[in-house]
A and B are shown apart, each in its own frame.
Chain A
């Protein structure tokens, strides 16, 4: 059988730098192809070529047996290629049905045929297993449901090939499972899927074939059967990444003693609908993980600790003194909060690397009497911190943050907070959407901080990550702490059980 899609020696350069080199691979009819690679390996460029946002310099693509050279997203769509991007492209102020047929409304003269619109939308929703009235505004939908709407959109123009780019990063486990079974069903309908993800376990579980990209080149093209995760990782990184997680020295208080000494004492925090009687202690030099399912209240707890949201009951004490007031006060107390959505809450995307890094500590670089910024001193501090977070040296301080890969963006956010020399660092999903290499570096940074005596609170949905880097793990479920495990008793099953709703 002829493959549905074929890349033939495709190349693409930007400003003389080849980002896609001699890429050739095939996507078979009715197959799921897993596409993996570190951030910056060329996956996005490749998909932009396929979607008609970019045109290849050299080489060609074939789709359905014909030469395929899309000039615009419209061309790709007309050919039968549907994209579901990581950042969903839906309009929350419109209904599901309107979103599905926005460019293709069934009309009668100038008017939309509303009955036909609802009918067609309902049929599509049924195909993706979404049991909602088509008139529901998209703003009432969860992320998982919105994703299904995007897939329904691809089906609305009968896409033969559907590209799913990191579809599960913001889905709960149950929503992911639902998506996976839909993917399998689409495959059995004879449609093909390109599945891009950093979740290698899912890639191996779902894909028929796996293509590995590194530095713009195909470094592996396998049948998924017989592959394993460590092989994929070593191909992606290009070296045997022996240890994703650095070895953890026993927790120390930073003063040479091994006595745990309390840094932050949280007692009886409660807030209606968000937190129930939460008490715990964070010690000096400790990495404390918070595990739990999506929506267990972990981010909400972090926001309360950082003073972003109020709490009705309970106290937060840092070294015996009660914390009150706004995030500004918390920052003065040397607390830092790395949010889960770095693009929205963590960075000024249009601003430069330097401006972003200096944001929190800007006042400390001002010189009296006029409080003007001392740029020499600031640059010096920035230079040091760049090294500390291992930001790639080819990146220019003046470059806009939005041009960086996810891993480098996260390093900029970390640098911003590290400049303030925090004693308490709250990290919410610090490695989401980041490639393996950068992940490992961020883990090392976390440990270095703890070794210097800071207390680090890590929220993560990846259990493996928490067991890999934490000294202790707390589990939350429905706004309550439902379990606590010291590193010797880390056990996937027990932690998961504690996380499940009672």
Chain B
């Protein structure tokens, strides 16, 4: 009886994301008839694609027991560079290459700070956050940059009836999922996140594994920035602000542990991203006070972290050694 309760509780905690998801859908569907419609749900998915992609990169870093606070700033820089180039009349392929370059370069800076200089990930990426924002503000001269409609079609183009942003997100997620579950590098990420010293002793090139995670996070952030840009149509000075927290929340809600070594992008981070977007989307539909949004997002992040620590604590508590098995009558 007690055991089955425990098993149920652990199952619930491990799948809390599904329960939350159903609860959120249910609540908003009841509050507004406009929420649970094909149109809105499709819209919701497209809106989630940016968060999902940034969250995927964040998942890699969190799995190594690190964190990347600079993703929002990288989104901003990528969008600002893209905007500049588009306004200067650069061809689309050149713009895309530049964005990939921005992402890789920013990630590489983080990687070097963390692996070569041995700076704590939290501090290193906090520094690059400020550098990135400063660079972006200088580039845009703190003025909003409106992009031509020709660029915005990127966000609305459909291939085989599926919106392009969704396809890009799906591609990134699939690639990340395969990498994490099926490649040596992916499995080594889990080892490094579990025990860095142990991984070194086991002969892993831990520096390379860690560095790759930050580079991938930077790349994902840049791609996510463009997906956001295609939907918003403009680069404002606050573009990408606080998106690092949404990305962390998406990953952690999806079951990735802040302590490293546990979690994954699918279904985890993807569902986390969609969940967060659902709440935002629902609030918009309900015409809620926009000043409430940060409070709601904060509550979700708090909930995510609480779930993570509760689960870890309960598992540790219950896996304590028993010396005999209680006989049941």
Chain A contact residues, CB within 8 Å of chain B: 73-74, 77, 89-94, 98, 102-103, 105, 107, 110-112, 114, 272-276, 295-297, 300, 478-479
Cβ distance A71 to chain B, nearest Cβ, rounded Å = 13
B323 interface neighbour in A73, A93, A98, A478, Cβ under 8 Å = A478
Structural contact, B323 and A273, CB atoms closer than 8 A: yes
A98 interface neighbour in B187, B199, B203, Cβ under 8 Å = B187
Structural contact, A297 and B323, CB atoms closer than 8 A: yes
| B202 interface residue per 8 A CB criterion | yes
Within 186-200 of B, Cβ neighbours of A (below 8 Å) are at 187-188, 190-191, 193-195, 198-199
- Chain B CB within 10 A, most for which of A93, A103, A296, A300: A93
B326 interface neighbour in A94, A107, A272, A296, Cβ under 8 Å = A272
A112-B183, A112-B187 given; A295·B321 CB < 8 A: yes
Structural contact, A102 and B321, CB atoms closer than 8 A: no
B203 contacts across to A, CB distance below 8 A: 73-74, 77, 103
With A and B bound together, what is the CA distance between A342 and B130 in angstroms? 43
Cβ distance A316 to chain B, nearest Cβ, rounded Å = 19
With A and B bound together, what is the CA distance between A295 and B20 in angstroms? 40
Structural contact, B188 and A111, CB atoms closer than 8 A: no
A107 contacts across to B, CB distance below 8 A: 183-184
With A and B bound together, what is the CA distance between A90 and B202 in angstroms? 9
User: Can you spell out 20 A-B residue pairs with CB atoms less than 8 angstroms apart?
Assistant: A89-B195, A89-B198, A91-B195, A93-B262, A94-B190, A94-B191, A98-B187, A102-B204, A103-B202, A103-B204, A111-B182, A112-B183, A112-B187, A273-B324, A274-B323, A275-B323, A295-B323, A296-B323, A300-B321, A478-B323
A74-B203, A93-B190, A103-B202 given; A479·B195 CB < 8 A: no
For the complex, count residues of B whose C-beta is within 8 A of A. Answer: 25
Structural contact, B204 and A479, CB atoms closer than 8 A: no
A276 interface neighbour in B187, B193, B201, B324, Cβ under 8 Å = B324
Cβ distance A438 to chain B, nearest Cβ, rounded Å = 27
Cβ distance A337 to chain B, nearest Cβ, rounded Å = 17
Q: Which residue of A lies closest to B201 (CB)?
A: A89
Q: Which residue of A lies closest to B197 (CB)?
A: A89
* Inter-chain pairs besides A74-B203, A103-B204, A296-B323, 20 sampled, C-beta below 8 Å: A90-B198, A91-B191, A91-B194, A92-B194, A93-B190, A93-B193, A93-B262, A94-B194, A102-B204, A103-B203, A107-B183, A107-B184, A110-B183, A111-B178, A111-B182, A111-B183, A273-B322, A276-B324, A300-B323, A478-B324
Chain B 64-79 interface 0/1 with A at a Cβ cutoff of 8 Å (1 = within)? 0000000000000000
B321 contacts across to A, CB distance below 8 A: 295, 300
- Chain A CB within 10 A, most for which of B178, B187, B191, B194: B187
B261 contacts across to A, CB distance below 8 A: 91, 93
| B325 interface residue per 8 A CB criterion | yes
Q: Which residue of A lies closest to B261 (CB)?
A: A93
